[in-house]
Amino acid sequence: MPKLSIRGGVHPDEHKLTNEITITRVPTPERLYLPLKQHIGAPAAPDKVIHEIIHKGQIIARAQGSVSANIHAPCSGYVEQITDWAAPHPSGLPTRTMVLVNDGRELRDDVSTPVNPLFLRPEVIAERVSQAGIVGLGGATFPSAVKLTLGQSRNTPVLIINGCECEPYLTCDDRLMQERTQAVMDGIQLLAQALYGPDTIIAIERNKPEAIRLMEIACKDFGNIRVMAVPTRYPMGSEKQLIEYITGRQVPAGKLSADIGVTLHNISTAYAISNAVRHGKPLTHRIVTVAGDAVKRPGNYEVPIGMLISDLLAFCGLKEEPQRILMGGPMMGQALPHAEIPITKGCNGVLAMSRAEVKNSTEHPCIRCASCVDACPIGLSPLTMAAMLKKDKLDQAVDIGLKDCILCGSCSFACPSAIPLVHYFNYGKGELLIRGQQQQKDDEIKRLIQGRQVRMAQQEKEKEEMIAKRMQAIAKRKAAEKAAAEQNSEKEIA
Amino acid sequence: MIRPPSSPHIAGRSSVPLVMLLVLLSLLPGTMLGIYQFGWPALFLFLITIGSAVLFEAICLKIAGKPVRLYCMDFSALLTGWLLAMTLPPWAPWWIGVLGSFCAIVIGKQIFGGIGQNPFNPAMLARTVLLVSFPLEMTSWIAPRPFGTADAPDAAAGWSITANGIPDLDAVTSASSLGHLRTELGRGELLPDILSSTYDPLASAIGTINGSLGETSAILFLLGGLFLLYKRIISWHIPVAILTTVAAMASIFSLHDPDHYAGPLFHLLNGGLMLGAFYIATDPVTSPVSNLGKIIFGIGAGLLLFIIRTWGSYPEGMAFSVLLMNAATPLIDHYIKPRIYGHPGSRIGQFFRKLKKEG
């Protein structure tokens, strides 16, 4: 049973000014910078060496371990170097990155595609999604194939396609649904096929009437696929909130959505899956919303993954020096230290914000107005949590729900005192991570020491046994010698 | 290089100064009516109280080494002084206002660490200190004498009242409606007789009765409160809980014994209930943060108010009931929290959800 609304949330100014601008294809720049870790899980390992020639769509780095993703070349050319380059993160710290030089020839290997992928076995679809290096393109970047396999093993009866796009400014999913309705629909069908035909719901926020209309037309022939218009309220597009709104059930803490029978995929992911499974095109490009008051030609751009944001902004033009450059939406996006950072798979928006757009208020003391409590979609008390983290009382903050926080930013948005609540929670989560790693390290050291002790004891025991054995052998030999000597002497006597 | 700041990168339009200004704006009509009715002395006392409140705030901030301009410009001291002025007898001498502001700002707020840190509502704390310490000055009510009427003192006479006190105290003062009721009931009179001679519900609603500035016009403060609700400065939980609790208690008792217990309308329209329910009890700093907590807070304040008005030794109990519930706020906040997504929630919450499911 669907709920009437989600708990809390906020309604920021939408700024969806680019929702009527057609997607433009951006020419591939001279160099592309592909970080080996663009997804949740282990970084991919380079599959090409320096100076090796590559063709468009070839795997250049392979997934490592069960949760990881392949990376493909968005252009033809060669690998120039494998180096450390600024990561798409506020710190801009370097991460292993493959630098490709584009020869502009667009050479591509022939790939065989099935006549009709809708007849493929679910496991094969998941395998092809995995091959194509597709990850959750809404921003979470969790490998999609892992999700599909999980859904297959748990047999989830509900598939939700997330077309909410609740972040302000961003319109890439909206444009995708409007312009490439058939391909999106094809991806959704493939997803449904991969999950043994679940009840499929395409959730779209009501502020995208054109996308809703077109998607409704596209799925009217399918009994098990339908569109659901959901209220325009941030963070409607958050997995937990959307699942609760649609199914009326909450994902229990520490469990996965598959545990309550729901698989959730993003609209862009569905589109990428159609490209991969039907046309054999791996994930090498994505739609990125470029917006913000500092941009001269805002819009949605089809960008090769690995393109530097500076190149993209140069293509779109800048009116003024941006006050802040964001990767993602304004609510949860990362502020970047500079623009020499590549577009990755999870990047759905690049915002160049002008001075006037960025919030710029002085922090006041908390007046306990509870705006944050009302805004929190999870039901936390952000003011109390922040007060505890301020005093570095990490355990107390965890007790009242730090781990449940999804960092959506509704609390900070609503706060009249302009307290950077999310900053505190990020700090707290970072400390937890460090603590967890330390714990893991300690456990590992303990395990090694214990192992060594056991080994030493074993060796000691073996040594003793060997000595005992030898002693026994010597004794035996001596006894034998003695016996022989006695015999000999007896013989002699005889 | 731009220093990378934390998300979110946009913010809502709400700010502390804006919140305070809207509250002040909504108080304006009721305040103006009060000042109009009680003339120059009321205006002088009002200005002295809010002026001294801001002054004390500035001095404290200076001593504490905080940015004076930034913190004074949040208008919180102005609001505290304003609310305090609303609860004083309009012709009270100047030092009542100054002393009250001192109690409110210095003792009630800044000693605890300034805005957001005080456990008790500063204005109510100050009013209680004044009421207990100076019962004569704090209960000298005068009948309304609006500007321009024959009885109204001119500016000079008004200043003399504020500066030196009321010259002929017994001649001008009279009991407030709640006080009058209490005295007469104490004498053994029956309620219908008492009310029929003196009480006019319409006058109480509009505010042409005696009392403090905030005790006169129930209608204007109700409208002001509704404006704050509309602007989402306050939530409905506390005012609705208080008003319905008081009305329910009054209904039960007056139906049971109409000769000794006043009805709900009398309780709602008289005294500082409207001001208290919408402006005092809703003070965010000293009230619970969760919605259920707010309802519990409101019910508690309403019950205490009714008990004090009916059986206590003071005719009015808004300040006391709010202060007592302020003390209970940390406890309420400790036990009543919203349920966290994906968690089973508290045992109380589980019980209620089960009831809801079955019912």
The count of C-alpha atoms lying within 13 angstroms of the C-alpha of B121, restricted to the half-sphere facing its C-beta, is 29
CA A399 remoteness from chain centre? 27
Residue range A57-106, pLDDT digits in tens: 999 999 998 899 999 999 999 999 999 999 888 888 899 999 999 998 88
Distance from CA of A298 to the nearest CA of B (A): 19
Interface probe with B: pick from A362, A368, A376, A384, most Cβ of B within 10 Å? A368
Which residue range(s) make up the domain with A63?
24-104+111-303
- Residue the block writes with tokens 């590992």: A444
- B357: contact with A, CB 8 A cutoff: no
CB contact under 8 A, A422 and B6: yes
Contact A353, A294 (CB under 8 A): yes
CB contact under 8 A, A330 and B10: yes
Q: Which residues of A touch B9 (CB under 8 A)?
A: 324, 326, 330-331, 333, 335, 351, 353, 358-359
Q: Is the pLDDT confidence value at A113 over 80?
A: no
- Total domain count for chain A? 1
Is there a domain that residue A362 lies in?
no
At residue B67, the 3 state secondary structure works out as coil
Instruction: Kindly list the strands in the beta sheet with A299-304, ordered across the sheet, starting from the edge strand earlier in the chain.
Output: A24-25, A299-304, A285-291, A349-353, A324-327, A334-336
Examine residue B8 and say whether the peptide bond preceding it is cis (omega within 30 degrees of 0).
yes
Q: Is the pLDDT confidence value at A17 over 80?
A: yes
Q: Which of A373, A414, A415 sits opposite B338 (nearest CB)?
A: A373
The residue among B192 and A299 whose pLDDT is bigger is A299
Model pLDDT, residue B171: 67
Rounded to two decimals, the pTM is 0.87
Distance CA B51, CA B57 (A): 10
- Residue the block writes with tokens 């577009």: A343
The count of C-alpha atoms lying within 13 angstroms of the C-alpha of A294, restricted to the half-sphere facing its C-beta, is 19
Two structure tokens written together for B62:
């200076």
Residue range B27-36, pLDDT digits in tens: 999 999 999 9
Model pLDDT, residue B143: 83
Is there a domain that residue A218 lies in?
yes
Contact A192, A200 (CB under 8 A): yes
The residue among B258 and B56 whose pLDDT is bigger is B56
The residue among A362 and A453 whose pLDDT is bigger is A453
Q: Which of A362, A366, A426 sits opposite B116 (nearest CB)?
A: A366
- B350: contact with A, CB 8 A cutoff: no
Q: Which of A91, A326, A417 sits opposite B9 (nearest CB)?
A: A326
Q: Which residues of B touch A407 (CB under 8 A)?
A: 7
Q: Phi and psi of A83, rounded to 5°?
A: -140, -175
CA angle A385, B295, A413 (to 5 degrees): 40
- B188: contact with A, CB 8 A cutoff: no
Q: Is the pLDDT confidence value at A396 over 60?
A: yes
Is there a domain that residue A198 lies in?
yes
Q: Which residues of B touch A7 (CB under 8 A)?
A: 338, 341
Sign for the CA dihedral angle at A140, A145, A150, A152 comes to: positive
Q: Which residues of B touch A254 (CB under 8 A)?
A: 342
CB contact under 8 A, A357 and B16: no
3-state secondary structure chain A: CCCCCCCCCECCCCCCCCCCCCCEECCCCCEEEEECCCCCCCCCEECCCCCCEECECCEEEECCCCCCCCEECCCCEEEEEEEEEECCCCCCCEEEEEEEEECCCCCECCCCCCCCHHHCCHHHHHHHHHHCCCECCCCCCCEHHHHHHHHHHHCCCEEEEEECCCCCCCCHHHHHHHHCHHHHHHHHHHHHHHCCCCEEEEEEECCCHHHHHHHHHHCCCCCCEEEEEECCCECCCCHHHHHHHHHCCCCCCCCCHHHHCEEEEEHHHHHHHHHHHHHCCCCCEEEEEEECCCECCCEEEEEECCCEHHHHHHHHCECCCCCEEEECCCCCCEEECCCCCECCCCCCEEEEECCCCCCCCCCCCCCCCCHHHHHCCCCCCHHHHHHHHHCCCHHHHHHCCHHHCCCCCHHHHHCCCCCCHHHHHHHHHHHHHHHHHHHHHHHHHHHHHHHHHHHHHHHHHHHHHHHHHHHHHHHHHHHHHHHHHHHHHHHHHC
CB pairs under 8 A between A and B: 160
Segment B258-285 shows an average pLDDT of: 91
- B235: contact with A, CB 8 A cutoff: yes
Q: Which residue of B has its CA nearest to A399?
A: B340
Which ipTM value was assigned to this complex? 0.86
* Mean pLDDT, rounded, of chain A: 91
Percent of chain A surpassing pLDDT 90:
79
Model pLDDT, residue B359: 59
- B339: contact with A, CB 8 A cutoff: yes
Model pLDDT, residue A411: 95
Model pLDDT, residue B52: 96
Question: Residue A455 carries which side chain, given as an amino acid letter?
Answer: R
Q: Which residues of B touch A409 (CB under 8 A)?
A: 7-8
Residue range B208-231, pLDDT digits in tens: 888 888 888 889 999 999 999 999
Q: Is the pLDDT confidence value at A442 over 90?
A: yes
Range with the poorest average pLDDT among A26-30, A302-306, A447-451, B256-260: B256-260
Q: Is the pLDDT confidence value at B1 over 80?
A: no
Model pLDDT, residue A165: 94
Segment B127-133 shows an average pLDDT of: 95
Is there a domain that residue A294 lies in?
yes
Q: Which of A255, A332, A418 sits opposite B11 (nearest CB)?
A: A418
Distance CA A380, CA A387 (A): 13
Segment A394-407 shows an average pLDDT of: 92
Is there a domain that residue A206 lies in?
yes
Model pLDDT, residue B3: 46
Distance CA A256, CA B335 (A): 29
CB contact under 8 A, A367 and B16: yes
Model pLDDT, residue B2: 41
- Residue the block writes with tokens 């160049």: A352
Q: Which residue of B has its CA nearest to A353?
A: B9
- B117: contact with A, CB 8 A cutoff: yes
- B59: contact with A, CB 8 A cutoff: no
CB contact under 8 A, B235 and A374: yes
- Residue the block writes with tokens 């009994």: A223
Model pLDDT, residue B187: 81
β A199-205/A225-230 pair status: parallel
CB contact under 8 A, B14 and A10: no
Domain residue ranges of chain B, discontinuous segments joined by +: 16-335
Q: Which residue of A has its CA nearest to B283?
A: A369
Q: Which residues of A touch B23 (CB under 8 A)?
A: none
Q: Which of A353, A361, A414 sits opposite B9 (nearest CB)?
A: A353
The residue among A115 and A312 whose pLDDT is bigger is A312
Distance from CA of B277 to the nearest CA of A (A): 16
Is there a domain that residue A258 lies in?
yes
Two structure tokens written together for A11:
């309604």
Q: Phi and psi of A133, rounded to 5°?
A: 70, 30
Distance from CA of A100 to the nearest CA of B (A): 27
CB contact under 8 A, B114 and A365: yes
Examine residue B5 and say whether the peptide bond preceding it is cis (omega within 30 degrees of 0).
no
Model pLDDT, residue B207: 79
* pLDDT band at residue B354 under the 50/70/90 scheme: confident
CATH number at residue A264: 3.40.50.11540
CB contact under 8 A, B340 and A358: no
Instruction: Compute how many other C-beta atoms are within 10 angstroms of the C-beta atom of residue A404.
Output: 18
CA angle A340, A344, A348 (to 5 degrees): 105
Q: Which residue of A has its CA nearest to B14?
A: A416
Distance from CA of A199 to the nearest CA of B (A): 23
Interface probe with A: pick from B1, B3, B6, most Cβ of A within 10 Å? B6
Percent of chain B surpassing pLDDT 90:
53
Two structure tokens written together for A186:
């094809």
Residue A42: left (phi > 0), alpha (psi -120 to 50), or beta? beta
Is there a domain that residue A171 lies in?
yes
Q: Which residue of A has its CA nearest to B5?
A: A335
Contact A193, A265 (CB under 8 A): no
Q: Which of B10, B117, B290 sits opposite A359 (nearest CB)?
A: B10
Distance CA A317, CA A314 (A): 5
Range with the poorest average pLDDT among A120-124, A215-219, B117-121, B152-156: B152-156
Residue range B301-323, pLDDT digits in tens: 999 999 999 998 888 889 999 99
Q: Is the pLDDT confidence value at A453 over 80?
A: yes
Interface probe with B: pick from A367, A373, A412, most Cβ of B within 10 Å? A367
* pLDDT band at residue B6 under the 50/70/90 scheme: confident
Model pLDDT, residue A129: 94
Segment A446-458 shows an average pLDDT of: 93
Segment A222-229 shows an average pLDDT of: 92
Distance from CA of A364 to the nearest CA of B (A): 8
Is there a domain that residue A386 lies in?
no
User: In this structure, what is the dihedral angle of CA atoms B348, B351, B357, B359, given to the nearest 10 degrees?
Assistant: -110
Q: Is the pLDDT confidence value at A284 over 70?
A: yes
- B74: contact with A, CB 8 A cutoff: yes
Percent of chain B surpassing pLDDT 70:
97
